[in-house]
Amino acid sequence: MTSADDLDQIKALLQTYLDGLHHGDVARLEAAFHPVAHLHSIEDGAVRAEPRDAWLARVRARPSAAAQGLPRHDAILSIDISGPETAFAKVACAIPPRFFTDYLSCLRTASGWRIVSKTFRTETR
Q: Which domain holds residue 17?
A: 3-124
> Residue 104 burial (CB < 10 Å; 0-12/13-18/19+)?
buried
- pLDDT tens for 34-85 read 999 999 999 999 999 999 999 999 999 999 999 999 999 999 999 999 999 9
Phi, psi of 69 (to 5 degrees): 75, 20
What is the number of domains present in the chain? 1
Global confidence as pTM: 0.94
The domain that contains 19 carries what CATH number? 3.10.450.50
